[in-house]
Structure 1
Amino acid sequence: MARIARLTYYPVKSCAGTDVSSAEVTADGLAHDRVFQVITPEGEPLTQRPHPVLAVVRPRVLGDRLALSAPGREDLVFAIRYDRPRRPVSAFRWQGEGVHQGAEAAEWFSDLLGRPAELVRVTPGHERVTGGETPGTVAFADAHAMLFLAESSLDELNARIAERGGQPVPMDRFRPNVVLAGWAEPHREDEVREMTVGTAKFGYAERCVRCTVPMVDQETGAKDGPEPIRTLATYRRDPDGGVVFGMKAAVLRPGQVAVGDEVIVHSWAGPSPSTAAAEPPLTATASRPAESV
């Protein structure tokens, strides 16, 4: 039986997350998750992919104020703007608007990144529909409301990395919203099609295709490749390209979730071809075939 081991929301997309013992689940995911985004003056997103230093920015939502901190920089706390002024913004093929958070926040991020930057928040009427097997809505996250990842999946990956002579990577490299404990088999989260956790209900959208962000050390904000992408490429390739790790989900019913909540799975999918065909794990204790993702 799986349970929630860790809950994390990321107030500013591509910046550090906030761990909580319980959280509200809205139609767009965990409350406060990726409701802010750093952009260029033209509205294009600025992320860890070209700017890994964003990983060390620690945002905190303090009621109607947002606090920003980073090593070697003066903290900034400012009142959140909820409606005006607005800016055109984009996020992973979506075009819309965001609420500009003022000159102080823009200057703070511009100084950090060494280039012009601004900070925006979702508008009061924000509505961004996502695709996947279960459609839903989302704030500024790349594509879907929630990202689930099981501890056993990371254990399997780190065992394979060790077999290749590498160092294990921590869970925060993958920036999940929900970490699940209790499943002995890796990648069981990818077989879930519908589940209830706490009072919220979720539907499978797709497996998470990974970019280069997992190669960024989330503590230092520096690139630290080639792991884990190098090892994932040996057994977690997606038929359509890229490597996959974790399951993205849509919110079917908002509610409340908490660390320790049991995962009640209502429906499962069968094994996926990419994993069913994978070679057996490289660990001496794992002689079974690799499970689907």
Structure 2
Amino acid sequence: MSVARVAAVIRYPVKGLTGVPVEQAQLGPAGVVGDREFMVVDPDGAFVSQRSVPAMAALRAAIADDVIRLSAAGADELAIDVRYDGKRRDVSLFGTWFGQGIAQDAAADEWLSEQLGRPVGLVRITPEHDRPGWGVHRGQVGFGDAHALLITSLSSLDGLNARIVERGGEAIPMNRFRPNLVVSGWPEPHTEDSVLRMRAGEVEIGYSARSIRCAVPTVDQDTGRKTGPEPTRTLASYRREPAYGGGVSFGIKAAVLTGGLVTVGDEILVHEWIPDGTDPAPATR
């Protein structure tokens, strides 16, 4: 029997911007440390998403030594000092979570506004940021949509791509789904749906809910352009979730139960499974 392992670990320093694959990461209560600690907001403080601004996907952010560097093809790189506290502004996600963010250097606002063609600002989570997720295991979350981690598997992508190709489309890469952890070695697609508790490296992870997909997977993460109906069209043919309002799912959302280090290649050990044909998450909403 094949051994399930961590195939990839990805951090997204700024919500909506490109992901940064890493070989090893520290996971804390809110997920991968440094993941979605920054967010782009409009003049009213509402988060800006690839759903409406797909060009965000082609912007890159790297953080090291208390400096954030923003870059994009054809643009000068911008480096600013990270502000961990200071001027605050009201921010919101989906009109359902309202809090505050630490306003970053105005130069970042100008750079991002120029690249995206609209007025935006950059904020970071506050030192006292405390936002619970929801689901079977609630956990904590930074500026992620609603959960600490998004987990997918290579077998699920292989199964999806086989269906897309059969329908005359082109296979898509995993980055369309913007996962934090990718698992290899599970022979059956969507095995992650049935994992209630598992360990990866030093980290204990608990299932929160299915990951219901929006329009972002239709965005090419390299070019920042929408590419058409896939993979949503094909997912809709076999991954409809009536208990989640009829949305289509791919991957799971999860909480960090015990933090620690996770490294590419770490073995995945499942401690508890969800019974076949059941999903306890919808009842927790």
| Range class of TM-score, shorter chain | over 0.9
In 1, the alpha carbon distance for the partners of 2:26 and 2:53 equals 30
Measured in 2, the distance between the counterparts of 1:273 and 1:148 equals 19
Residue 19 of structure 1 corresponds to 21
TM-score (norm 1): 0.92
In 2, the alpha carbon distance for the partners of 1:271 and 1:63 equals: 47
Q: Distance in 1 between matches of 2:255 and 2:246?
A: 22
Offset of residue 42 of structure 1: 1.2
1:2-17 maps to which residues of 2 (within 5 A)? 2-17=4-19
Candidates 277, 281, 284, aligned match of 1:272: 277
Out of 225, 231, 252, which is 1:247 matched to? 252
Counterpart of 1:291? none
Aligned equivalents of 1:142, 1:205: Cα separation in 2:
13
1:71-220 to structure 2, matched below 5 A, reads 71-92=73-94, 93-220=96-223
The secondary structure found in structure 2 opposite 1:161 is: helix
| 1:227-281 alpha-carbon deviations (Å, 9 max, x no partner) | 000000000001121100001101101111000001111100123369xxxxxxx
Q: Which amino acid aligns with 1:105?
A: A
Question: Which one of the candidate residues 22, 43, 56 is aligned to 2:58?
Answer: 56
Q: Distance in 2 between matches of 1:90 and 1:48?
A: 16
What's the CA shift for 1:94?
Answer: 1.0
CA distance in 2, matches of 1:44, 1:248: 23
Structure 2 CA distance, aligned partners of 1:14 and 1:127? 21
User: How many Å apart are 1:70 and its aligned residue?
Assistant: 0.6
The correspondence for 2:264, drawn from 259, 262, 266, is 259
Deviations 1:61-104 (A, max 9, x none): 11200000011111100000001111101124211000000210
Normalized against structure 2, the TM-score is what? 0.95
What percent identity do the matched residue pairs reach? 51
Which residue type is aligned with residue 73 of structure 2?
Answer: P
Secondary structure of the 2:240 match is coil
SS of 1:5's partner is: strand
Looking at structure 1, the residues matched to 13 and 228 of structure 2 have their Cα atoms a distance apart, in angstroms, of: 26
Give SS of 1:19's match: strand
> Number of residue pairs matched?
274
**1:114 CA drift (Å):** 1.3
1:187-236 Cα offsets, whole Å, 9 max, x none, are: 00110000111111110000100000000000110000100000000000
Relative to structure 1, the CA distance from residue 127 to residue 273 in structure 2 (aligned partners, 3 Å threshold; closer, same or farther) is closer
Gaps of 5+ in 1: 275-293
Q: Name which of structure 1's ranges 146-155 and 109-118 shifts more when overlaid on structure 2.
A: 109-118
Q: Give the equivalent residue in structure 2 for 1:279.
A: none
Letter of the 1:111 partner, please give it. Answer: E
Secondary structure of residue in 2 paired with 1:130: coil
* Superposition pairs of residues 60-71 of structure 1, within 5 angstroms: 60-71=62-73
